[in-house]
Amino acid sequence: MKRVGEWLEINILENWANNTIFHVLTKELGASKALVQKWNQAKSIRKNDQQADVNHRLQVNDCLSLHLFIKEDYSVIPEQHPIEVLYEDDHMLIVNKQAGIDTHPNAPGQTGTLANGIAYYYQLNDEQLKVRHIHRLDKDTSGAIIFAKHDLSHTLLDKALEQRQIKRTYIAVAEGKLSQAKGTIDKPIGKDRHHATRRRISPTGQKAITHFQVKQYIPDQQLSIVELRLDTGRTHQIRVHLSSIGHPIIGDVLYGAKKRILNRQALHAAKVTLPHPLTGEKVEIEADFPKDMLPFLRK
């Protein structure tokens, strides 16, 4: 498959032939039924350069085209922010979020977020695209975040996240020495009814699983460098889980940190690994650490 102007062209090979367009788009490509219906209504599907209906049947060497690369409303106000691009193609964008900014607006018209900066970045590059984040990071957490650049990649990346095909690796600087070198924290997380933003371990909360491995212990400061991987993506998951075993992240006052060496939680999304939404090829991207965490990691 390849991009030709505003269209994605897919050459039909033998293993996809003799099926309807609807079957190929939903079963082979992975698009949702709702998305295919939207394309059909918008006349965004072509077969051999002719408008096609989803019930049309495809043969070997037919050219199936989707009108994916269209101009859209950004959905947020473009605003200049420094954007560190880690990976980009026609289908997705991965950036290294700095600490201290929200991933996206929490109210209409809000500015100062990473999403506002992404919209400005698109604008600079003469792309008019809706800003679509696939996951998010807390305001004071830094690191890699994935954005989809059109509705098909959005659907496929959402599905990959749900099926745990997107692997996220974090590095945290935690207080004290963990009793285990590696392990899994499997504790449900719910809202804290006594605090508007805080979460807590709750038997009635959502399932939350965090795998951890201690990479290094710094005895003179009584700090542990911990690598973490998530099976789920609950709000504040790593922060809640590390605090629940008695090792809050330094700087994380909300979850009981005593060491205020940093003015934020020392948590960084260091790596994302995922299948490319269109090609299926493995994409592995690392995000450089912010300057405030480097002194601990150099030790």
- Distance (Å, whole) CA 68 – CA 151: 7
* DSSP states of 86-149: EEE-SSEEEEEEPTTS-SS-SSTT--SSHHHHHHHHHHHTT-----EESS---TT-EEEEEEES
Measured in degrees and rounded to the nearest 5, phi and psi for residue 70 equal: -110, 165
Task: Write the CA distances from 148 to 76, 156, 158, 172, 184, integer angstroms.
Answer: 15, 9, 9, 27, 30
Helix-then-strand count for the chain, H and E: 6, 17
The pLDDT of residue 233 is 87
SS3 286: strand
- Distance (Å, whole) CA 203 – CA 28: 40
Strand segments (E) across 126-266 = 132-133, 142-148, 167-175, 182-186, 189-191, 199-201, 209-218, 223-230
Q: Would you say how long the chain is, in residues?
A: 299
What domains can be seen in the chain, in order of their start residue?
2-66 (3.10.290.10), 168-269 (3.30.2350.10)
In sequence order, what are the residues at sequence separation of 6 or more whose Cβ sits closer than 8 angstroms to the Cβ of residue 202?
Answer: 188, 189, 190, 191
Residue 224, classified by CB atoms within 10 Å of its CB into exposed (0-12), middle (13-18) or buried (19+), is buried
Tokens of 278: 């269109």
The pLDDT of residue 113 is 97
Bridge pairing between strands 267-275 and 142-148: parallel
pTM exceeds cut of 0.85 = yes
Catalytic residues: 138
In a structure prediction context, what are the per-residue pLDDT tens digits for the chain, which is 299 residues long?
899 999 999 999 999 999 999 999 999 999 999 999 999 999 999 999 999 999 999 999 999 999 999 999 999 999 999 999 999 999 999 999 999 999 999 888 899 999 999 999 999 999 999 999 999 999 999 999 999 999 999 999 999 999 999 999 999 999 999 999 999 999 999 999 889 889 999 999 999 999 999 999 999 999 999 999 998 889 999 999 999 999 999 999 999 999 778 889 999 999 999 999 999 999 999 999 999 999 988 75
Tokens of 292: 């405030």
List the beta bridge partners of residue 168: 272
| Region for 156 from its dihedrals, namely left if φ exceeds 0, alpha if ψ lies in -120 to 50, beta otherwise | alpha
CB 209 within 8 A of CB 186: yes
The pLDDT of residue 299 is 58
